Structure 1
Amino acid sequence: MVGLGLLLDEKDLPEEAKHWIRKAAKKSDSEAMLILAILLRNTGHLEEAEHWLRKAVEQGNTNASVALGLLLQDTERTEEAEHWLRKAADAGNTIAMNNLGALLRETGRAEEAGHWFRLALKAQDSD
């Protein structure tokens, strides 16, 4: 279902793509939930995107936690965004570490931002 949805999205058929990916998401596929949320966000459906991201996060999907943090940051819910980025960063997600560092720098916490940037670099070097 997800593969078909992605193919339809590539063919610029976002509504049909969302239909098939939503079917997989409803079957508790956290990756489908994340992909659906990204498609929804890209088409301006932020509330529904947030819903699916939260469901994916509940299943332990750290990439969804990053995406949720970024969506919240973009909608000026910085404190909540920090929570979800920190949760993913604490789980070892280097993308979250970099985004958390950027958020902390933007909010005037350069020293803590540096800590997360260094952790991300160290984690990337060990890969």
Structure 2
Amino acid sequence: MAIPKRPGPLDPAVERAAEAGDVVAMRLRGQHLYASGDNHAAEEWLLAAARAGDAEAMYSLSHVYHDRVFQDEAHDVTAGAWCRRAAEAKYVPAIRAMSSWVDLDEREFWLRKAWETGDLGAAYDLAGLFEEEGRPSEAEHWYRIACREPGHGGHVARGSWAAYLVYQGRFEDAAELLAQNAGEGSSAAARFLSDVLERLGRTEEAAAWRERVDSLRAAEHEQELLLRSPASGPA
């Protein structure tokens, strides 16, 4: 795993501006210190900027406190409080992070807020929340939206929705979703699809997909090896 690089020296002009009380400069200095690994010094500057109303500093400060959870769980409470203040100040990354900080009774509110900012992943989280709460029509609405997300996000949403549909006894609908994922090369989806087709009495199709599972798994393994291999340098 690559070791994160420390940032270079901070622009002296930013340091001077921070010393003079410029709020943005104080936040930049705090963020630079945090990236450099000096959390205690970072806290000083970020706290000053946050108290002056800088929402991004509030959010950065939440990370500083969250990193100290191993010292004292109270730091996580403080981290969540600063994230909330940043979110209430309409700082988008904080809004998107809030659902991981709040109790179940607040999660829907913040996930909807995250969706309004354009966070596509919030649709999937809302679907899961409504599934957990036994609200199937709302879960289906958000699963439909989540399934439209391109790439991996949509793939995961289709798999989760298919499992929910099977739980509901809607095997035909589940088979459609699983066939799409299996067609994209997922061995897990192919295996699940073969089971669903078997339950539908479509035994020949089930057998055909079952026969493809091993080859799909081998292709996935090969792709994983390619992704793990170091990039070749310049010739």
- TM-score grouping bracket, smaller chain normalisation: 0.7 to 0.9
Q: TM-score, normalised by structure 1?
A: 0.77
The equivalent residue for 2:134 is 76
Question: Whose relative contact order is higher, 1 or 2, with alpha carbons under 8 Å and at least 6 apart?
Answer: 1
Q: Which moved more, 1:66-75 or 1:115-124?
A: 115-124
- Pairwise CA distance, 1:9: 3.6
Kept in 2, the 8 Å contact 1:30–1:55? The answer is no
Q: Which moved more, 1:109-118 or 1:2-11?
A: 2-11
Match of 1:18 among 71, 80, 85: 80
The equivalent residue for 1:111 is 172
CA distance change for structure 1 residues 24 and 90 in 2, over 3 Å: closer, same or farther? same
Q: Within 5 A, what are the aligned runs for 1:97-108?
A: 97-108=158-169
The equivalent residue for 2:101 is 39
Provide the C-alpha distance between the structure 2 equivalents of 1:108 and 1:117, rounded to a whole number of angstroms.
Answer: 15
- Pairwise CA distance, 1:30: 4.3
Provide the C-alpha distance between the structure 1 equivalents of 2:77 and 2:172, rounded to a whole number of angstroms.
Answer: 44
The equivalent residue for 2:123 is 65
- Pairwise CA distance, 1:3: 4.4
Kept in 2, the 8 Å contact 1:98–1:120? The answer is yes
- Pairwise CA distance, 1:64: 0.8
Provide the C-alpha distance between the structure 2 equivalents of 1:118 and 1:9, rounded to a whole number of angstroms.
Answer: 42
CA distance change for structure 1 residues 29 and 66 in 2, over 3 Å: closer, same or farther? farther
The equivalent residue for 1:90 is 148
Provide the C-alpha distance between the structure 2 equivalents of 1:120 and 1:36, rounded to a whole number of angstroms.
Answer: 31
Provide the C-alpha distance between the structure 2 equivalents of 1:73 and 1:50, rounded to a whole number of angstroms.
Answer: 12
Provide the C-alpha distance between the structure 2 equivalents of 1:8 and 1:102, rounded to a whole number of angstroms.
Answer: 38
Percent of pairs with identical residues: 30
Q: What is the root-mean-square deviation of aligned Cα atoms in Å?
A: 2.5
Which amino acid in structure 2 is aligned with residue 91 of structure 1?
A: E
Match of 1:8 among 65, 72, 75: 65
CA distance change for structure 1 residues 29 and 123 in 2, over 3 Å: closer, same or farther? farther
Structure whose alpha-carbon radius of gyration is higher: 2
CA distance change for structure 1 residues 32 and 75 in 2, over 3 Å: closer, same or farther? same
- Pairwise CA distance, 1:107: 1.0
- Pairwise CA distance, 1:113: 1.2
Q: Tell me whether 1:51 sits opposite 2:109 in the alignment.
A: yes
Q: Which moved more, 1:17-26 or 1:61-70?
A: 17-26
CA distance change for structure 1 residues 5 and 50 in 2, over 3 Å: closer, same or farther? same
Say which SS state the counterpart of residue 101 (structure 2) adopts: helix
